[in-house]
Amino acid sequence: MSLYRTNSISFFSLMLTALVFFAIPEQSRAESASDVGFEKKQAAAKVYEEKKMYRAAIAEYDLLIAAKEKELKKLNGGKMTWSKDELKIARDLAKLLYKRGSCYRRMGAWDEAMHDFERCNSYGYKGRRLDYFLGEGYAHFGKYKDALRHLKMVLASPDKDNLDRDQLANLYSLSATAYDGIGDQKNKLDCLNNAIAVAEKPARFLKERAFYFQNNKQWQKAVDDFNRCETLQGLTISSYYGRGRCFMELAKYDQAALDFSSCIELEPERGGYYAARAAAYEKSGKKELALADRRKVAEIGEDFALPLRPNKNSAKGRLPSNSN
């Protein structure tokens, strides 16, 4: 008896399901199936992003974006009237463009990233991160005024308070780059000062400011920043060379020679570093050491701007034009 009832209920349920299914218009069933497929692709793209498989994520976003573009075109025939239905689709499309652009950005594919970010912005998508990415991209392509327009929006936004210290420092550093691009040295320095003040790990920004001071012939300030950077995380070869050049300008030739020696340890086949150290040795009265470095320059065979004359019998090497 119970078996009969179970079978009857099962048969009834099947019939009811069939009636409901066939009562739904074909278009609605297709849309429902399409929605399920869309959600699966979104989920797949998210997983690929989390695993840093950006090409795979982009492939999913390509399909999702194409589907939304087709949906929008079907609705308006390719001409936006900004109706309520269009706005909903446009918002969804903008979010997808933002996500695909973010993947391109992480891959360093800036042309594709900026194309997506600009389209995203054109659909009215707003946000601190989008403005930051646009600012970053415009700075990358040398469009510094456009970069500053978006970076200033981030700095003026209440959302700025949600940035952690390093994110805020990066924002100031990027703004400094943009100000430098338009020749505004005052605001560049202000931004570098702000970056150093807020950063948890300010070594990179100290290095940037050190080169700023060096380029503006503020030799001791540059040395001070290089020294702080060295204390925090050590110096790169460009920093050793930069500090060495500053020591030369400050007539601290022994210290300059030490920095040029550090450069040589890191890149022993670069004649320019031997030439710079030879100049430092010459200034400090160490003629034999200077001569040995000049011979090394000649051995390496690099061609520099100024002729070397270590003695009357030799003039083979050349010094960089800024080696005094």
What are 44-73's pLDDT values in tens digits?
999 999 999 999 999 999 999 999 989 888
pLDDT tens-place string over residues 185-200: 999 999 999 999 999 9
Measured CA to CA, the distance from residue 223 to residue 6 in angstroms comes to 88
Query: In this predicted model, what pLDDT tens digit does every residue of 288-313 receive, in sequence order?
Result: 999 999 999 999 886 554 333 333 33
- Residue 53: inside a domain, yes or no? yes
pLDDT tier for residue 11 given thresholds of 50, 70 and 90 = very low
Of 99, 125, 151, the last residue of a domain is: 125
Per-residue model confidence (pLDDT) at position 255: 98
Helix (H, G, I), strand (E, B) or coil at 52: coil
If DSSP codes are grouped into helix, strand and coil, which group holds residue 179? helix
Apex 151 CA angle, 120 and 88, nearest 5: 20
Q: What is the pTM of this model?
A: 0.73
pLDDT at 31: 43
b/e map of 131-154 (b: 16 or more CB within 10 Å)? bbbbbbbbbbeebbebbbebbebb
Q: Is 263 exposed, middle or buried (0-12, 13-18, 19+ CB in 10 A)?
A: buried
317 and 221, same domain (yes or no): yes
State what percent of residues in the chain have pLDDT above 70.
80
Question: What is the pLDDT at residue 126?
Answer: 86
Judge if 324 and 218 occupy the same domain.
yes
Q: Which residues pair with 43 in a beta bridge?
A: none
Q: Using the 8-state DSSP alphabet, how is residue 310 labeled?
A: S
Confirm whether 56 is domain-assigned: yes
Say if 192 falls within a structural domain: yes
Same domain, yes or no: 112 and 84:
yes
Residues 6+ apart with CB under 8 A from 254: 280, 284
CATH of the domain at 154: 1.25.40
Dihedrals phi, psi of 296, to nearest 5 degrees: -65, -40
Q: Looking at the DSSP assignment, which residues form a beta bridge with residue 314?
A: 311
Range of the domain at 146: 130-202
Tell me which of 76, 96, 125 is where a domain ends: 125
Q: Are 185 and 167 in contact (CB under 8 A)?
A: no
Task: CATH number of the domain at 242, please.
Answer: 1.25.40.10
**Rounded average pLDDT over 129-146:** 96
Q: Crossing angle for the helix pair 203-215 and 237-249, nearest 10 degrees?
A: 40
Considering the domain boundaries, does residue 1 fall inside one? no
Report the pLDDT value the prediction gives residue 86, as an integer from 0 to 100.
Answer: 78
What digits encode the pLDDT tens for the residues 212-258?
999 999 999 999 999 999 999 999 999 999 999 999 999 999 999 99
Q: Positive or negative CA dihedral for 47, 49, 52, 55?
A: positive
